[in-house]
Structure 1
């Protein structure tokens, strides 16, 4: 379960319907072109929180079929609706996903005891492993060391997707829990996670820039930090341009330019402005994507 995981993009048509063949193509290119070690399915990059339960199940099934055991699969099943999270967790477990993951419940100001109960309920109902998805800048939920201590007491909680800029807490977690999996969640800070001893990383830009992410990762493992920084600089130049043009719209348009059926984003997100498509095509050339 160590290594680099793409936070999988999901293609939709203008009516918000899943493009099945496009999803299969994106899965294959992540495995065969980007050379990732695994796929993180139905996370933020998959526009998960705008999907119906049935759409989420459809995505889990198609990805499992297309992957066919090639790489590790993590199913993000988190939801403010706990019954849905359990249903999705059971379904992904039946499909053979290697682990579940769940974002901390958000919007309402849940207490830590409520958050802990949420994870315990999903684990008990599925019997599967759980990777906590900590992303405080989107959920508003920041967990302390003492709270991670409580969650990690459950042997089924095998790790955390750590999308947080608090590198002091990351260092403390790494030292105290050498046997738990810690995944870095910020693509633009991969190098800092790597030199802090994380076990891997999960990123949306790996769908198009996985090869550079692999270079950064491998160089850090070899202690070649100066060289790794050079690749991170290029990666961050790319990320800046992607963010300027629109994150998910641009990632999908890059894949469209390269001949994959990546479709568009799901409303209420706005489709890519036609005037920006030439800039995306130039991005593909400039960064040899």
Structure 2
């Protein structure tokens, strides 16, 4: 399960319904053009927290049907509805997903014992593996080194998607848990994480920028830091423009410029203005 995984974008039509044809085109672009090692399905980038349980199942099913066994698949099943998480864990496992992931339960101020119970309940309900999705700046949930050690007492919990800027904690985790999988979650910090020895990365910008991410990761692993730094600079120029214009909407516009029916974002996310669509086209022409 090592390598680069795209946090998969999902194509929705103007009414917010899943566009299966467009989703399949996004999948093919990631596998055939971006050449990623795997797909991380139904995460934040797929607008997961704005869709129903049945829609999540539909996306899991389409992705598996399109990919077959070409690349690795990780199913993000996390929810503050534990019953839904378990239902999705069973569904994705039955489909043949190689691993599960779950965001830390959010909104309510769950204590660590509640968080630990959540992860154990999900992964102990299936014959599969769990990757914790830690993204404190969105969830407000910080997990300490000692708490990660407690979670890892369950041997089915095999790693972490580490979407945080605490690189001291990341370094401590790499040293303390050499046999666990650590994935970088911030695309703009991929080089820094690679230098610390992560096992891969999971990124939203990999939907279009997967080839640069591959160069950064492989150059870092070969110790060619100066070359990797230049590509990270270029990547971060791209990411800065992307964030300024609207992250998910602009990624979809770039894919459209590449002939991919990437569709629209679900409300309450808004459509890009004509000016921002023009900016997205310029970004696509500049970087791709």
Deviation at residue 184 of structure 1 after TM alignment:
0.3
| 1:21 aligned onto 2:21 | yes
> Which deviations, in whole Å up to 9, do the C-alpha atoms of 1:180-228 show, x marking residues without a partner?
0000000000000100000000000000000000010110011000000
1:213 matched to which residue of 2? 213
2:239 matched to which residue of 1? 239
- Counterparts of 1:51 and 1:114, CA distance in 2: 25
Structure 2 counterparts to residues 224-263 of structure 1, below 5 A: 224-263=224-263
Query: Contact between 1:219 and 1:228, CA under 8 Å: does it hold in 2?
Result: yes
1:68 matched to which residue of 2? 68
Structure 2 counterparts to residues 156-167 of structure 1, below 5 A: 156-167=156-167
> Which deviations, in whole Å up to 9, do the C-alpha atoms of 1:126-169 show, x marking residues without a partner?
12100000000000000011100100111000000000111111
- Counterparts of 2:235 and 2:158, CA distance in 1: 29
| 1:272 aligned onto 2:272 | yes
Query: Contact between 1:100 and 1:129, CA under 8 Å: does it hold in 2?
Result: yes
Deviation at residue 10 of structure 1 after TM alignment:
0.2
SS at the partner of 2:13? coil
SS at the partner of 1:23? helix
- Counterparts of 1:273 and 1:255, CA distance in 2: 17
What TM-score, normalized by structure 2, do the two folds share? 0.99
SS at the partner of 2:125? helix
Displaced runs of 4 or more, over 2 A: none
- Counterparts of 2:75 and 2:89, CA distance in 1: 8
- Listed as ranges, the gaps of 5+ residues in structure 2 are none
Query: Contact between 1:183 and 1:198, CA under 8 Å: does it hold in 2?
Result: yes
- Listed as ranges, the gaps of 5+ residues in structure 1 are none
| 1:283 aligned onto 2:283 | yes
Query: Contact between 1:264 and 1:272, CA under 8 Å: does it hold in 2?
Result: no
Equivalences, count: 288
1:204 matched to which residue of 2? 204
- Counterparts of 1:209 and 1:178, CA distance in 2: 28
> Which deviations, in whole Å up to 9, do the C-alpha atoms of 1:246-288 show, x marking residues without a partner?
000000010011111100100011011122111111111111x
Query: Contact between 1:7 and 1:206, CA under 8 Å: does it hold in 2?
Result: yes
What TM-score, normalized by structure 1, do the two folds share? 0.99
Query: Contact between 1:104 and 1:133, CA under 8 Å: does it hold in 2?
Result: yes
- Counterparts of 1:201 and 1:124, CA distance in 2: 25
| 1:41 aligned onto 2:41 | yes
SS at the partner of 2:124? helix
Q: Considering only aligned residues, what root-mean-square deviation do their CA atoms show, in Å?
A: 0.6
2:12 matched to which residue of 1? 12
1:113 matched to which residue of 2? 113
